[in-house]
Structure 1
Amino acid sequence: MATSIFLAKLIGPLALALGVGVLVNRATMRAVLDEFIRNPALIFIAGMITFPAGLAIVLTHNVWVASWPVLITVIGWLITIAGALRLAAPHQAIKFGRRVFDQPNGVLFGGAIWIVIGAILTFFGYVR
């Protein structure tokens, strides 16, 4: 449980800040994401960062329980898969990014999801 709380304290505020930043700066975030998916080098570098970050979460916290810590495990696996995809199949990652980016409310939805995840993890990390 100590690892769950530590990771909740680490990931929760980051996710919360990311979500708020995306919602408050939607136009800027759209420009950032547009530039990101146009640059294969950035996709590759992001994969080099996200793959080991996600793997570190999975290796230290592969907890499948019917409670809030499973959220950390799922996030770890999603980050690992996203990083591996960016490294092994960057063009597929770009296609996926464009599909999400082309949705009218894609950025808004993404920001809202990060806020919810961040709020849950911050609550369980710091309050509970």
Structure 2
Amino acid sequence: MYDTTTMTFSIYLAQVIGFTILLMNLAVLSNQQRYKRTVIEFVGNAPLVTLSGMISIILGFILVMSHNIWIYGWPVVITIISWILLLQGIMRLFAPDAFAKMVKEMVAKPTYVILSWIWLVIAIYLIWAGFILN
């Protein structure tokens, strides 16, 4: 059931996740070459990939367990982001080489910038839902 307490939590998550994604992607878009180099160096560092995978799994599970809401409307965006976070954390731990290959291929193409713009739109949507819509 989606009650007022759950709605309040969804609004909070929309605000926090929205601003986090916004700032991260504005940084990427404002200095694309630097972040491409950083990402390539990151996936080449096995301890960092492992640690970030563990952190992603922890945060992903926390979000999935606390906000696994599959309703029509903006709260489902938070649920999808939660699952993406969890799944990419699992990929970093169980398939780090495939993860590194995928990331390197993505960064080598315009896909990197396109995805940053898509995430930027998602961030603006969540901020709008968290502050204006409700």
Which bracket does the TM-score occupy, shorter chain normalised?
over 0.9
**Which runs of structure 2 are paired with 1:41-56 in the superposition (5 Å)?**
41-56=47-62
Pick aligned residue for 1:127 from 122, 126, 132: 132
CA distance in structure 2 between the partners assigned to 1:66 and 1:99 by the alignment:
34
Task: Output the TM-score relative to the length of structure 2.
Answer: 0.90
Partner of 1:81: 87
User: Is 1:116 aligned with 2:100?
Assistant: no
Provide the residue aligned with 2:112 in structure 1. Answer: 107
Identity %: 33
| Contact 1:18/1:114 (8 A) holds in 2 | no
Please report the RMSD computed on the Cα atoms of aligned residues, expressed in angstroms: 1.0
TM-score, normalised to structure 1, is: 0.94
Report what 2:75 is aligned to: 69
> How many positions carry a matched residue from both structures?
127
In structure 1, runs of 5+ residues without a counterpart are none
- For residue 19 of structure 1, report the CA deviation from its aligned partner: 1.3
Please identify the structure whose Cα radius of gyration is greater: 2
Match for 1:49: what amino acid? I
Map 1:13-52 → 2, pairs under 5 A: 13-52=19-58
